[in-house]
Amino acid sequence: MSLALPRRASAEFAGTALLVAAVVGSGIAAARLSPTDVGLQLLENAIATALALGALILMFGPVSGAHFNPVVSAVDWWLGRRAGTGLTARELVAYATAQTGGAIVGAVLADLMFDLPAVAWSRTDRTGGNLWLAEVVATAGLVVLVFALARSGRTAAAPAAVGAYIGAAYWFTSSTSFANPAVTIGRAFTDTFAGIAPASVPGFVAAQVVGGLVAVAALAAWYPHAAESADAVVVPHLAEEKP
């Protein structure tokens, strides 16, 4: 039996909030600790994000699956809708809403922890075809990874694998791999190292949606029965806990 939806949605809210707090907070710390070396700042930000993501999957995965990402949740719904696995449409709406709200709260929390204004719209423009292409690649790779792990029965590796992928994608993509519409929206609320200007958000989100569609096509070719394992994305989360 699936855990109650409010319980799962609250886990998605908290997990996404802590993920964005890690992204933004480590970016602020990196900028303060290494003010003259942008490369080192990015390295510090990437390592902290990758480690936090792995830990958060371990923390919240048994409750909600630890999607923390509307594209992952949407693909989970799309692939599982006919097989009777994955999220229902109602659950998808709840997950995406919780993830987006959590991302905003996470950015505000990070700002407050570093004694900055709770909300300051980012002035960092991130736009251009190369960045959008990078977001397509980053998002598609992430989605294929989590569904490949589920289909091949390797979800125990998800915390390390997903964290490693995102940490690496900070460096091999020109966009530094947002790969997540909720996180993208949340990062618009902070005018710090990890921020993105509100005007740049629609382009990134559109590219991430395209990345999700590319992933669906790739999964159809490489893992045609991925829908059967949609309940195990990012990690299994169906059984009620024993009293």
Q: What is the pLDDT of residues 13-56, one digit of tens each?
A: 999 999 999 999 999 999 999 999 999 999 999 999 999 999 99
Question: Per the domain annotation, does 241 fall within a domain?
Answer: no
Question: Per the domain annotation, does 224 fall within a domain?
Answer: yes
pLDDT score of 82? 79
Distance of CA 209 to the CA centre of its chain: 13
CA 138-139-144 angle, 5° bins: 105
Q: Which conformational region is residue 140 in: left (phi greater than 0), alpha (psi within -120 to 50 degrees), or beta? A: alpha
Question: Per the domain annotation, does 242 fall within a domain?
Answer: no
Domain span holding position 144: 5-232
Q: How far apart are CA 144 and CA 141, in angstroms?
A: 5
Question: Per the domain annotation, does 237 fall within a domain?
Answer: no
Q: Which two tokens stand for residue 40?
A: 């080192």
User: What is the dihedral angle through the alpha carbons of 121, 122, 125, 127, rounded to the nearest 10 degrees?
Assistant: -70
Whether 223 has a pLDDT exceeding 70, the answer reads yes
Domains held by the chain: number? 1
Residue 9: which residues within 8 A CB-CB, separation 6 or more? 64, 94, 95, 97, 98
Whether 241 has a pLDDT exceeding 60, the answer reads no
pLDDT score of 199? 98
Q: Which conformational region is residue 233 in: left (phi greater than 0), alpha (psi within -120 to 50 degrees), or beta? A: beta
Question: Per the domain annotation, does 238 fall within a domain?
Answer: no
Residue position matching structure tokens 């893992």: 223
What is the chain's Cα-based Rg? Answer: 17
Per-residue pLDDT tens digits for 116-168: 999 999 999 999 999 999 999 999 999 999 999 999 999 999 999 999 999 99
pLDDT score of 1? 46
Q: How far apart are CA 7 and CA 209, in angstroms?
A: 26
Read off the CATH number of the domain in which 43 is found.
Answer: 1.20.1080.10
Question: Per the domain annotation, does 223 fall within a domain?
Answer: yes
Residue position matching structure tokens 């947002």: 178
Percent of the chain with pLDDT over 90: 91
* Mean pLDDT value of segment 49-70: 97
Whether 242 has a pLDDT exceeding 50, the answer reads no
Question: Per the domain annotation, does 103 fall within a domain?
Answer: yes
Per-residue pLDDT tens digits for 112-124: 999 999 999 999 9
Greatest alpha-carbon span in the chain: 54
CA distances from 206 to 149, 180, 193 (A): 26, 10, 22
Cβ(98)–Cβ(7) under 8 Å?
no
Question: Per the domain annotation, does 153 fall within a domain?
Answer: yes
* Mean pLDDT value of segment 4-17: 97
Q: How far apart are CA 140 and CA 77, in angstroms?
A: 16
Q: At 2, is the pLDDT very low, low, confident or very high (cuts 50, 70, 90)?
A: low
pTM of the model: 0.95
